[in-house]
């Protein structure tokens, strides 16, 4: 006997597996959890074996029309639930246990029960049992696809043990599937007879489609499809079967505040559907469909953890229709609640409170069992979505943020002054005030840098938590405090939970003077030229601000005055000029802590534009020619004896004397100046003086050149900083 290995269980996607696949979402832009959404229509395809047949589309349209027009027949009627069937998860601690209890009620075991089941079996004819078997196989296969390869060991079957479909002469076969240390997946295979292995060609018209939940939600929508086509050389020629399963658990990423009590509520949705279509020559066709659409609501406590109970409102649709089968479309409602283990997402208790949709005496035991199983399926998948969502809103500053009055970085430092800081927690999206518990208030950037009290406090709308911060005697960068908060809307911590004094503002004062004595050059033809003598003075004032990537940066105006200093001769090359340019500080660090004190700044003075002007008394043609030739030896190009060009001066002497130490890193170009001297009890923070023999440093030999440059780092008033908090 030919046998086919078929996985016989329901697989539940633990958070972190199928939901981690990131593909573009096709959910509606405005996703409404109270509205029913159907799976997106597949794009049109060429007319091949994988194309959805027109007959299937026609039957689906009829069922959708019936579903939309059908009205519930009653509400709150008695349904013969077996109390034990509602406790499927009682005592369950592993996914394997949960799956083994759920699977038998989800497959085709009840497919042909009751009058409507008998009609379906009659319409299917001799292939009824094969139809049911393949339904079980595909149901499990579709769920299994979301797991991928991995390992697990969970002996489970969709059909009850008494089913004649299971060949007990065949030993079970364990299959590898996906597992992680924190979210295991357990699955196994058992062999079942299948005499139709070679009778059908299996094609996948559309591969597994996984879509992320809409923005603001966690979860996914997973669609799995498969088609069987009867082979041309088999009795199954002309037969076609199409399967589709959609699984979509979702939960809100952030809790919302509800009602006058400002309860923290988390909305959730779940959609699951399975359809099986069979068409035979004649033509004859049958479409079977199950659908579950659920809205959920969980409450979050002040510890940012879900409370025990999650409430659900489920709509269950059982539908079948065919060319020789009158339609059956029953819409049933179930409202209830469940609790789940917050570590695993496995439901702990499950309860159906009310059922609607049955008229008096209409409910059958098989319907009750199916509703119980499908709503338990809801609890299992939704538990996974809620566990993942809870991890999201417990990520600091994801859903809420801490606000301070006065705002952070606005209070000016005053030694030992105390500041009362009112502190609240707000939702990021709506900016609604959330009751919160503030804890672990600590001084920053290290403990005992000033004093904050109390260490914890509670806030309510209209009554902020209040912390008092006393500044230290000497300011340290980032002086202030940080605090964390937990609430029914999420968790917040540093860095967005920090309050600090206005950042230290500094200004750099730069002064430089370079004096270069002139050089007298006696040419071979008897002309004496006095060149390159100058007295240059430069001043700049640069406000500094701190950046995360480069440290302290800024730019300011640099003024320069360069006067010539030459000897009266026949010809003089006079270097002189007056103007302004830009002075840059392109990075650096300032540490005023006594151990260690350190200042390093990367400076880049702007380019001064002194000119080298030629002044000669001789205007004879021969004299001018000789002068031009002489000027060329000095690096000065002129068209006549009285020309000028940009050359020499302060920028040349300053840069040449330290060119080898220039930093070429993009964005941080300049000279790094370290070795500052700390200044105490003054608005002067640090000072640096450089005295340079610029002639020798620039390789000019004995040419006298003297530089004295002073850099002064001062405290500056912070723009917008307040001397005291507002009243």
**Would you state the pLDDT for residue 542?**
96
Which whole number is the average pLDDT over 417-432?
A: 96
Which whole number is the average pLDDT over 605-627?
A: 71
Cβ proximity of 320 and 108 under 8 Å: no
Residues 6+ positions from 247 with CB-CB distance below 8 Å: 13, 143, 146, 221, 222, 271, 272, 381
Which whole number is the average pLDDT over 378-406?
A: 93
Residue 42 or 384, more confident:
384
**Would you state the pLDDT for residue 465?**
97
Which whole number is the average pLDDT over 319-325?
A: 85
CA distance 530 to 539: 28
pLDDT digits (tens, 9 = 90+) for 519-541: 887 765 567 778 888 999 999 99
DSSP string, 333-367: EEEEEEEE-TTT--EEEEEEEEEESPPTTT--HHH
The owner of tokens 């597992």 is: 179
**Would you state the pLDDT for residue 123?**
84
Q: Please, which residues bridge with residue 231 across strands?
A: none
pLDDT digits (tens, 9 = 90+) for 184-214: 333 333 333 444 557 888 886 556 788 999 9
**Would you state the pLDDT for residue 725?**
40
Q: Where are the domains of the chain?
A: 3-39+51-393, 400-500, 505-617+646-716
**Would you state the pLDDT for residue 36?**
38
Helix/strand/coil for 112: coil
**Is the pLDDT confidence value at 161 over 80?**
no
176-185, 280-289, 552-561: range with lowest mean pLDDT: 176-185
- How distant, in Å, are the alpha carbons of 102, 594, 683, 710, 715 from that of 680? 76, 11, 8, 18, 12
Nearest residue to 362 (alpha-carbon basis) of 598, 634, 78: 78
Which whole number is the average pLDDT over 500-518?
A: 90
**Is the pLDDT confidence value at 75 over 60?**
no
Which whole number is the average pLDDT over 219-226?
A: 89
**Would you state the pLDDT for residue 710?**
97
CA distance 716 to 504: 8
**Would you state the pLDDT for residue 631?**
58
Residue 31, token pair as written in the block: 């996703």
CA distance 254 to 608: 58
pLDDT band at 481 (very low <50, low <70, confident <90, very high): very high
Q: Half-sphere exposure of residue 361, counting CA atoms within 13 Å on the CB side? A: 0
**Is the pLDDT confidence value at 687 over 90?**
yes
pLDDT digits (tens, 9 = 90+) for 42-58: 333 333 344 557 888 88
Nearest residue to 49 (alpha-carbon basis) of 194, 222, 239, 208: 239
Cβ proximity of 533 and 516 under 8 Å: yes
**Is the pLDDT confidence value at 7 over 50?**
no
**Would you state the pLDDT for residue 69?**
64
Residue 402 or 634, more confident:
402
Average pLDDT of the chain, as a whole number: 76
* CATH fold for the domain made of 400-500: Immunoglobulin-like (2.60.40)
Residue 181, token pair as written in the block: 């240390």
**Would you state the pLDDT for residue 377?**
83
pLDDT band at 152 (very low <50, low <70, confident <90, very high): very low
**Is the pLDDT confidence value at 400 over 50?**
yes
**Would you state the pLDDT for residue 94?**
67
Residues, the chain, total?
727
17-26, 441-450, 546-555, 706-715: range with lowest mean pLDDT: 17-26
pLDDT band at 557 (very low <50, low <70, confident <90, very high): very high
The answer to whether the predicted template modeling score (pTM) of the entire model surpasses 0.75 is no
**Would you state the pLDDT for residue 526?**
66
**Would you state the pLDDT for residue 149?**
43
Cβ proximity of 618 and 624 under 8 Å: yes
Which whole number is the average pLDDT over 106-111?
A: 76
Which whole number is the average pLDDT over 156-181?
A: 38
Which whole number is the average pLDDT over 574-603?
A: 88
- HEC string of 564-578? ECCCCCCEEEEEEEE
Residue 567 or 468, more confident:
468
**Is the pLDDT confidence value at 350 over 50?**
yes
pLDDT band at 175 (very low <50, low <70, confident <90, very high): very low
236-240, 432-436, 661-665: range with lowest mean pLDDT: 236-240
**Would you state the pLDDT for residue 158?**
65
pLDDT band at 335 (very low <50, low <70, confident <90, very high): confident
**Is the pLDDT confidence value at 476 over 90?**
no
**Would you state the pLDDT for residue 171?**
34
| Chain center to CA of 140 | 33
CA distance 71 to 418: 68
CA distance 292 to 374: 7
CA distance 165 to 81: 27
Which whole number is the average pLDDT over 670-697?
A: 86
Which whole number is the average pLDDT over 116-138?
A: 82
**Is the pLDDT confidence value at 586 over 90?**
yes
96-100, 130-134, 222-226: range with lowest mean pLDDT: 96-100
**Would you state the pLDDT for residue 213?**
93
Residue 666 or 19, more confident:
666
- Is the omega angle on the peptide bond into residue 723 within 30 degrees of 0, that is, cis? no
**Would you state the pLDDT for residue 605?**
96
Cβ proximity of 6 and 165 under 8 Å: no
**Would you state the pLDDT for residue 681?**
61
Give the β-pairing of 571-591 and 528-531: parallel
pLDDT band at 325 (very low <50, low <70, confident <90, very high): confident
Burial class (CB in 10 A: 0-12, 13-18, 19+), 24: exposed
- How many CB atoms sit inside 10 A of residue 667's CB? 10
**Would you state the pLDDT for residue 529?**
79
CA distance 644 to 274: 90
């Amino acid at each position: 006997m030919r046998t086919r290995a078929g996985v016989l269980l329901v697989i539940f996607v633990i958070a972190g597996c199928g939901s981690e696949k990131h593909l573009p979402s096709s959910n509606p832009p405005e996703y409404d959890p109270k509205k029913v959404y159907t799976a997106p229509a597949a794009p049109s395809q060429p007319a091949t074996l994988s194309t959805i047949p027109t007959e299937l589309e026609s039957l689906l349209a009829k069922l959708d029309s019936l579903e939309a027009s059908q009205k519930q027949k009653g509400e709150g009627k008695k349904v013969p639930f077996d109390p034990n069937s509602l406790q499927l998860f009682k005592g369950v601690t592993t996914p394997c246990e949960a799956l083994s209890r759920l699977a038998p009620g989800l497959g085709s075991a009840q497919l042909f029960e009751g009058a409507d089941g008998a009609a379906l079996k009659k319409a299917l004819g001799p292939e009824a049992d094969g139809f049911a078997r393949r339904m079980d196989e595909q149901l499990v296969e579709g769920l299994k696809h979301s797991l991928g390869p991995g390992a697990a060991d969970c002996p489970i079957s969709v059909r009850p043990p008494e089913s004649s479909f299971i060949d007990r002469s065949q030993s079970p076969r364990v299959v590898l599937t996906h597992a992680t240390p924190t979210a295991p997946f357990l699955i196994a295979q058992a062999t079942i007879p299948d005499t139709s292995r070679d009778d059908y060609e299996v094609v996948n018209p559309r591969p597994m489609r996984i879509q992320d939940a809409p923005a603001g939600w966690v979860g996914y929508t997973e669609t799995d499809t498969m088609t069987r086509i009867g082979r041309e050389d088999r009795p199954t020629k002309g037969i076609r079967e199409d399967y589709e399963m959609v699984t979509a658990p979702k939960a809100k990423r952030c809790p919302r505040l509800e009602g006058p009590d400002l309860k923290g509520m988390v909305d959730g949705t779940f959609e699951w559907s399975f359809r099986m279509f069979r068409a035979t020559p004649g033509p004859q066709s049958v479409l079977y469909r199950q659908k579950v659409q659920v809205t959920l609501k969980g409450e979050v406590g002040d510890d940012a953890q879900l409370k025990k109970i999650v409430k659900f409102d489920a709509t269950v649709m059982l539908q079948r229709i065919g060319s020789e089968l009158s339609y059956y479309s029953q819409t049933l409602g179930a409202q209830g609640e469940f609790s789940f283990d917050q570590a695993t997402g496995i439901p702990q208790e499950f309860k159906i409170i009310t059922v609607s949709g049955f008229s008096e005496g209409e409910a059958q035991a098989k319907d009750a069992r199916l509703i119980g199983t499908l709503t338990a399926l809801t609890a299992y998948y939704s538990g996974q979505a809620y566990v993942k969502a809870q991890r999201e809103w417990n990520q600091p500053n994801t859903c809420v943020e801490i606000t301070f009055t006065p705002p952070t970085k606005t209070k000016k430092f005053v030694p030992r002054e105390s500041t009362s800081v009112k502190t609240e927690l707000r939702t990021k999206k709506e900016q609604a005030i959330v009751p919160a518990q503030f804890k672990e208030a600590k001084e920053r950037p290290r403990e005992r840098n000033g004093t904050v009290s109390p260490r914890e406090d509670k806030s309510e709308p209209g009554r902020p938590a209040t912390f008092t911060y006393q500044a230290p005697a000497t300011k340290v960068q980032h002086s202030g405090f940080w605090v964390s908060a937990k609430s029914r809307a999420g968790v917040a911590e540093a860095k967005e939970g920090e309050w600090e004094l206005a950042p230290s503002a500094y200004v750099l004062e730069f002064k430089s003077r370079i004096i270069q004595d002139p050089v007298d050059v006696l040419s071979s033809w008897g002309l004496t030229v006095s060149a390159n003598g100058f007295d240059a003075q430069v001043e700049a004032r640069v406000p500094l601000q701190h950046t995360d990537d480069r440290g302290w940066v800024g730019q300011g105006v640099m003024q320069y005055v360069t006067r010539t200093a030459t000897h009266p001769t026949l010809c003089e090359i006079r270097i002189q000029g007056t103007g302004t340019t830009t002075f840059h500080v392109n990075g650096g660090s300032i540490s005023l802590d006594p151990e260690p004190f350190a200042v390093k700044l990367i400076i880049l003075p702007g380019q001064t534009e002194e000119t080298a002007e030629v002044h000669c008394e001789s205007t004879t043609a021969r004299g001018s020619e000789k002068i031009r030739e002489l000027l060329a030896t000095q690096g000065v190009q002129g068209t006549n004896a009285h020309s000028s060009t940009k050359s020499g001066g302060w920028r040349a002497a300053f840069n040449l004397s330290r060119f080898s130490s220039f930093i070429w890193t993009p964005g941080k170009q300049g000279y790094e100046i370290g070795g500052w001297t700390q200044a105490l009890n003054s608005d002067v923070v640090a000072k640096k003086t450089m005295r340079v023999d610029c002639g020798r440093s620039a390789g000019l030999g004995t040419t006298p050149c003297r530089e004295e440059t002073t850099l002064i780092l001062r405290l500056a008033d912070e723009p917008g900083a307040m001397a005291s908090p507002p009243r």
